[in-house]
Structure 1
Amino acid sequence: MIDFKLALKILAVAFICFAQMAIATPELTYIDNQIAAHPNQSGIYVLDKGEDALLARAWLADHAEKTIEVQYFIWSTDNIGILASEALLRAADRGVKVRVIVDDLLIDAPDKSLLALAKHPNVEIHIYNPKHSVGTPFYKRLMNIVVNFRGVNQRMHDKTFIVDGKLAITGGRNMAAEYFDYNQKYNFRDRDALLLGDVAKDMQASFEKFWHSPLSAPVEDLYDGLGLMQKHVTVKDDEIQKIYSDLHDYANSPENFTPENRKAISDMPKAFAALAEKIIWTPIQFISDTPGKNNYKYIMGGGGFTTQKLAQLVENAQTQIVIQSPYLVMSSQAKKLFKDALKRGVKVRINTNSLASTDNLEAFSGYRNQRDQLIKMGIEVYEYKPDPQIKQKLVQHVLPKDAKPPVFAIHAKTMVVDAKTVFIGTFNFDPRSQNLNTEVGVIVQNEALANNVQTAIETDMQPENSWSAATDNPDQYATGAKRRKVAALQLTPIKPLL
């Protein structure tokens, strides 16, 4: 049995071994041939398991030939975040042009490390809407909140990973351990889409809009400026090389891993061949908001392009809507959309987090304030259990003996309409995604894909995985402390920020 720390080391070995594979592989030739054989279509494969999603990113990074463009809301400095940073550094070392955009709100990278990476000749890093963290002293952050409250709350929630303009991943996962099932206390049931072909170019075009936006600032400008309201950070050449060396040493540090995992790594080409047979080729629409979301400056409304496109899907629904979202806080506009759908005879089922599983009490307070109303409207709501039975199938690695199982919570953002149209992306069904945060995702009209995704969500709704919000009183399974905190939050006027 492998313990948790060893599992992380195994992942590090996987990154290293992938890097040592020749770039001109049969898999890349196969991809090029498949793209050429499917004009006006794109390929999609759903990544439901965290470890598969992580290894897919590792494989893509280590097989990039020309460019990598990355956008994330969160990029943590935990084991997964460090290994991912090192993988991009290795790609840059071999000549790949790497560009990264990270939202400023939750970034926790050391200043010198961030600046050192940005100074690599093949790496550029931009920070989106830098009003909180990078280059921002505490007193300036407070001033930003007072002077531009809407501005500091407008975040880039996009999550995209694009390689050579032809391979990409988008979906719910940020770059941190809990999104790939490697956190010891709390992990997410999430969903990504691995994409091939023309849709990757559409994603690249969206990336360019953010890259050239005034809201997107180069790291060097945030640290090297001369303003009084700015952190001043410098990094010398020897410090840069030390930071690079430490990253490589970290990724090369695993001491042991089992023969089973050695075999899994060596079998990656075979695994890819099997995966390739499951890729669905079909027209795919990539949707994204513009930087800034909308033109509103002082109030929290305004919507955006992703909001419009998802609203259209609800408006056009004829028989059923199935949703999976970690947070469920409906605005008045959203309630009207779903009321109208229910009046048309559309069946609406939603799978969201319970109080026992949620990571966001603020968002849950907004949901709790309207839960009874949603149920009375006719919406079937199922709340995810913190230790659902499905976790045994989704989480591939084994916990140490006698270890307390981590909480497993929904983070997937998915909607299936009429069992033929699928949305997979970053959009939470709440006012923040509707009006404040930029969001992305793919809309796919394909019955085979829709049935597969809907079946996965319906499985998550089953009694062994979720409670019925209408009949099971799920709040009773949460701790008393959680119940008291969320009750207090229900009294606060924070709905527009949820």
Structure 2
Amino acid sequence: MTSIRLPNLLPRIFLLLAAVLLSGCTTMPATHVRPTVISPVAARTGVIAGFAAGIQETLDQGESAVHLIPDNLDALHWRIAMMQGAEQTLDLQYFLWEDDYSGYLLLHELLKAADRGVQVRLLLDDIFLDFSHRTVAAIQQHPNIEVRVYNPVVNRRSVTGTAFRFALNVIQLNRRMHNKLMIADGSLALVGSRNIGDSYFGFDPDYNFRDLDAVTVGPVLQDMMYSFDHYWNTRYAIDATDLYLTSRSRHLGAVRRVAMTRSGQHPDRAAAALPQTPRAWLTERARGFHPGQVTYIYDHPSDRHDRTVLQELPEFLSPIEQQLRIVTPYFLPNDFGMDLIQDKLARNVQVQVIVPSLGSINHTIVHSHYRSFRPRILEMGVDLYEYQHQPGYAGRHHADSGSVEADFISMHMKTLLGDSNRAYIGSLNLNHRSLYTDTENGLLILSDSLGQELELLLADMATPEESWQLALENGRVLWMTDEATLQNPPTRSPLQHIPYFWGALLPIRGFL
């Protein structure tokens, strides 16, 4: 039987609405004076550095190389390999880190890397940080680990305290760090749309995501390291020592024991373990890298008006002449998205959009606001597809891991592909939050070979085995596959109709 989760966006939205009614001002937590930290020069020796150097030897001057990661288990293994192979530094920047099996497994690997002498910097957004503040403060006790929390809600001991803090400074606290980035030894970086949690790596029995990351090597790493330093040194990144009362923190040893226990308590998830040494595992994947011109883009960490991703993405996509494919889990295009689509259609560019169906989306309330865009998008001539919650073998193969078979498959991928050679892979959704409020990041990739691989991946997602194709007939939306045509949106449970219909009545689109 399919289990139903209350959409975890709702508490956040209601807190923000309460804050609007109680506007005021406050200041960031007081911090100790700290020096500006700059990433060290990339390592020249070691497993990661040697692997990256071998790939760079095959590239032309100025080129970087990118490897796509559409498979959830593979995405977990890449992170483990980078943690186990690192010898000098690990920098991690994430919007969400869950305290589940995968979250503790990767925390365990981070602690082991720090024990080897690797200098670890962990930058986490506060709003969906599942670890307790006591646990975060305990991690900070390790001499080789520094933890900073972006734009924190200082009083999070209760929902009331959180709402009160939001009420004091809704404009500041509404802005979240949605970036996802991991850099090992300054030589190998991973970016994309996956956060840290079981749903992103295929181990959640409720639902797993169809998702996409990319690993890159080459000169683009310089901008990625600069970006991490930029966020790390902003006044919005608060040191865990300043933020949490260390006298009330757990002991590091207790966190170690929990991480070891939680990461080893599921024998049926043995597939999570890296099957080889990091060197051997990485070597087998060297051929999957595509050369090209790669640019890293990110929004300013403290200036809300500096929307670099929003500015550079349309320019990068402007030369497109034939086709634009858009894949996004939360599709509320507003002016930016509609203008982008209309511009391409006016130039006779075919536009295809893939979003989750009502049955596959993990935040039903977002879908309730998307439905008003659906007829307009179809009338414009867009090829619109909605991903099925029970896709065929290919979708299941990429999403589920090991012996886990989730009740349904959701879709979390965020990518754009133009003319099979211009790709964006990153954290950006086509919704109001991503476009105008939160910080985002990603790669702009100009590569024929990578574009061809991504083209095949997205074409498979648009087949009847994985997605519904939508059409407009006499003003009514139809959902079609080879086997069925529906006149109502496909759901995974009748209970979804409740937030689907009343959610659209709430004036919260600006918070979605």
Conserved 8 A contact 2:48-2:187: no
Conserved 8 A contact 1:324-1:412: yes
- Residue 203 of structure 1: CA displacement? 1.1
Give 1:72-471 correspondences, 5 Å limit: 72-131=94-153, 138-224=159-245, 234-235=248-249, 239-248=251-260, 250-251=262-263, 265-266=275-276, 269-292=279-302, 294-295=304-305, 304-389=307-392, 390-395=394-399, 397-399=401-403, 405-470=406-471, 471=478
Conserved 8 A contact 1:106-1:133: no
Specify the SS of the correspondent of 1:265. Answer: coil
Question: 1:29 and 1:316, CA in 2 relative to 1: closer, same or farther beyond 3 A?
Answer: closer
Conserved 8 A contact 2:94-2:179: yes
Q: What is the Cα-based RMSD across aligned positions, in Å?
A: 2.6
Specify the SS of the correspondent of 1:469. Answer: strand
Conserved 8 A contact 2:208-2:400: no
Quick one: distance in 1 between partners of 2:488 and 2:458? Answer: 21
Cα deviation per residue 1:47-101 (whole Å; 9 max; x = unaligned)? 0100001001101001111110000010001010001011111111111110011
Residue 504 of structure 2 is aligned to residue 493 of structure 1: no
Gaps of 5+ in 2: 1-43, 472-477, 480-485
Question: 1:366 and 1:476, CA in 2 relative to 1: closer, same or farther beyond 3 A?
Answer: closer
- Which one-letter code corresponds to 2:510 in the other structure? P
Partner of 1:7: none
Quick one: distance in 2 between partners of 1:313 and 1:474? Answer: 38
Q: Larger helix proportion, structure 1 or 2?
A: 1
Partner of 1:4: none
Question: 1:371 and 1:116, CA in 2 relative to 1: closer, same or farther beyond 3 A?
Answer: same
Conserved 8 A contact 2:150-2:177: yes
Moved more, 30-39 or 306-315: 30-39
Conserved 8 A contact 1:415-1:422: yes
Specify the SS of the correspondent of 2:217. Answer: strand
- Residue 142 of structure 1: CA displacement? 2.1
- Residue 320 of structure 1: CA displacement? 1.2
Question: 1:338 and 1:476, CA in 2 relative to 1: closer, same or farther beyond 3 A?
Answer: closer
Residue 490 of structure 2 is aligned to residue 477 of structure 1: yes
Quick one: distance in 2 between partners of 1:460 and 1:64? Answer: 35
Quick one: distance in 2 between partners of 1:265 and 1:29? Answer: 20
- Residue 378 of structure 1: CA displacement? 1.3
Quick one: distance in 2 between partners of 1:252 and 1:182? Answer: 13
Conserved 8 A contact 1:314-1:337: no
Conserved 8 A contact 2:73-2:272: no
Cα deviation per residue 1:320-361 (whole Å; 9 max; x = unaligned)? 100111111111233123212211111100000000110112
Identity of aligned residues (%): 26
Cα deviation per residue 1:5-50 (whole Å; 9 max; x = unaligned)? xxxxxxxxxxxxxxxxxx9777753432333553422121000100
Specify the SS of the correspondent of 1:415. Answer: strand
- Which one-letter code corresponds to 2:204 in the other structure? N
Gaps of 5+ in 1: 1-22, 225-231, 296-302
- Which one-letter code corresponds to 1:129 in the other structure? N
Cα deviation per residue 1:147-167 (whole Å; 9 max; x = unaligned)? 322222210000001011110
Question: 1:459 and 1:255, CA in 2 relative to 1: closer, same or farther beyond 3 A?
Answer: closer
Moved more, 55-64 or 339-348: 339-348
- Residue 132 of structure 1: CA displacement? 6.4
Partner of 2:4: none
Specify the SS of the correspondent of 1:376. Answer: helix
- Residue 482 of structure 1: CA displacement? 1.2
Partner of 2:50: 29
Question: 1:373 and 1:133, CA in 2 relative to 1: closer, same or farther beyond 3 A?
Answer: farther
Quick one: distance in 2 between partners of 1:138 and 1:392? Answer: 37
Question: 1:222 and 1:421, CA in 2 relative to 1: closer, same or farther beyond 3 A?
Answer: same
Moved more, 306-315 or 79-88: 306-315
Quick one: distance in 2 between partners of 1:177 and 1:54? Answer: 10
TM-score with structure 2 setting the length: 0.83
Question: 1:118 and 1:398, CA in 2 relative to 1: closer, same or farther beyond 3 A?
Answer: closer
Quick one: distance in 2 between partners of 1:133 and 1:287? Answer: 33
Quick one: distance in 2 between partners of 1:412 and 1:318? Answer: 24
Conserved 8 A contact 2:423-2:444: yes
- Residue 318 of structure 1: CA displacement? 1.9
Conserved 8 A contact 1:168-1:200: yes
- Residue 314 of structure 1: CA displacement? 4.2
Quick one: distance in 2 between partners of 1:133 and 1:318? Answer: 51
Moved more, 450-459 or 306-315: 306-315
Specify the SS of the correspondent of 2:54. Answer: helix
Specify the SS of the correspondent of 1:130. Answer: coil
Cα deviation per residue 1:277-316 (whole Å; 9 max; x = unaligned)? 1211222100000113524xxxxxxx71101112223444
Question: 1:164 and 1:460, CA in 2 relative to 1: closer, same or farther beyond 3 A?
Answer: same
